[in-house]
Structure 1
Amino acid sequence: MWADGACGYGNQISAGYGYITTALSTPLFSGGDTCGACFQVRCWGDGGCLNGNPSILVTATNLCPPGSNGGWCDPPRQHFDLSQPAFSQIAQIPVGHVSIQFRRVSCLRSGDIQYTINGHTFFNLVLISNVGGAGDVASVAIKGSNTGWRTMQRNWGQNWQDESYLNGQSLSFRVTTSDGRTVTTYDVAPANWQFGQRFSGGQF
């Protein structure tokens, strides 16, 4: 599981998040609820910040677990373990750690929401990625062409599961983000979909 990161995104480039990303300490990660959320992060102070105390927009794509990164990620600290490309845009790399200010912001994504369908018969595991707006998915519902809407359960990160037989049916999804906004996209996956495939549709 952890080879794909604690959010399950795997290759962050193909998932739509690029290189400007961050892992979050446990209090900010919230058990995976915050996966996909966007933050504006500003270097603050004079201890290693680049001139002008610049800011960047980053996406939360992983957990910085307790006991790692020299204890900086231990609760109750609210810590951002920025990717090196992200850190280099606000501070001098050799410094390693800087004080920051941060706030939640909306996510602007290129393209549609991505649905990667994994699992096997009677166990549908769908990774939801490249989500705009609030960015972090709070609930998902799935509908086969021969079924009604079914509420999916969070398995881990942004992987959502449904234990029903949906083989041979086109699939529709209803995605709700933490701000209560919902996007419903019909027939995202055609009836001949296969496990391991990725499909796109809808966006905030």
Structure 2
Amino acid sequence: MTKPLTLLLGALVMLLLLVSPIDCSRKLRKRRPHPIRHKPGHVAKGHKPSAPGARARAHRNHTATHSPAIYGSGRWLSGAGATYYGAPNGDGSDGGACGYQTAVGKQPFDSMIAAGSTLLYRGGEGCGACYEVKCTSNAACSGQPATILITDQSPGGLFPGEVAHFDMSGTAMGAMAKPGLADKLRAGGVLRIQYRRVPCKYTGVEIAFKVDQGANPFYFDVLIEFEDDDGDLSAVELMEAGSHTWTPMSHNWGAMWRLNNGRKLNAPFALRLTSDSGRVLIANNAIPAAWKPGKTYRSLVNYP
């Protein structure tokens, strides 16, 4: 009995191995890559959507790349959401994650600003981009477009079903309403809107360069604002006095660009700007020899 029993047990073991779910040749699941995370500087203090009933966004998307759903060919795009933050008729923030500070409430921005979700903010390189927005999803919507620009990063991810999100200033949100119904529109919670990328137009305003308070002869850091046309920049280069070479600057955060190559820089500086669509503009002697940290220098040029 012992030998037949042993043979039977051996056969059972072989059968179990054949049908076992353990399969050394099975395909391993691909690990999902971690999203690229960017440090955008600071998000405006206390920046939260003010729309009643607004809740935390469902997820975050930290990739800072161009998206066909956002950079269209001038046609209206759907699938975006909008809330507002700050005072009902206010500026929204003091500049937030782009570094524009109090400029958002002054000409030419005039409080018509928004904090953009990740694919709009683009790690800060979307700062200054202009969009037309309009809504028909609420009875208070006028259906007429209003022009806004990105000056901040929207906290959190997207609401379900959104491809992009605009956290607008109260002023910008109200601009989409029928006359006298701005407050009703702002009380409408999360709105569904249409949007499209448009050229920025700052009539009579030249590009400004605001030197950061922490800049010194060995570390140059500058905020660039009021660029016509694309409104945002993909590259900035600096040429020192007595040189014929353009040195690439690094994107710091928001609309800030820096250069620290380990040696004293020789001012005055010329700056060469490359816009989002690849257009190049040179501002000669943009920063004078006796430049000071915290001071703003106006150029004599802008994109045509």
The normalised TM-score by structure 2 is 0.60
Distance in 1 (CA, whole Å) between partners of 2:256 and 2:126 is 13
Structure 2 counterparts to residues 13-162 of structure 1, below 5 A: 13=105, 16-45=108-137, 47-51=138-142, 53-66=143-156, 72=159, 77-91=163-177, 92-110=185-203, 111-118=205-212, 119-147=215-243, 148-162=245-259
Partner of 2:302: 203
Secondary structure in structure 2 of the residue aligned to 1:95: coil
The 10-residue stretch of structure 1 (90-99 or 18-27) with the greater mean CA deviation from structure 2: 90-99
Residues 1:173 and 2:271 are matched in the alignment: yes
Q: Which has the higher strand share?
A: 1
CA distance in 2, matches of 1:193, 1:159: 17
Structure 1: gaps spanning 5 or more residues: none
Bigger Cα Rg: 2
Q: Distance in 2 between matches of 1:190 and 1:98?
A: 47
What code does the residue aligned with 2:277 have?
D
**1:38 touches 1:106 (CA, 8 Å); kept in 2?**
yes
When residues 170 and 32 of structure 1 are mapped into structure 2, their CA distance, relative to the original with a 3 A threshold, is same
2: distance between equivalents of 1:84 and 1:145? 45
CA RMSD between the two structures: 2.1
Letter aligned with residue 302 of structure 2:
Q
- TM-superposed CA distance for 1:75, in Å, is 9.8
Question: Following TM superposition, by how much is the alpha carbon of 1:14 offset from its aligned partner in structure 2, in angstroms?
Answer: 5.3
Does the 8 Å contact 1:115/1:128 carry over to 2?
A: yes
Provide structure 2 residue ranges, at least 5 long, that are not aligned to the other structure. 1-40, 45-94, 178-184
More helix by share: 2
Paired residues, number? 197
Contact 1:154 1:160 in 2 (8 A): yes
**% identity of equivalent residues:** 29
**TM-score, normalising length: structure 1:** 0.88
Shift in Å, 1:18: 2.1
Q: Which has the higher contact order (CA 8 A, sep 6+)?
A: 1
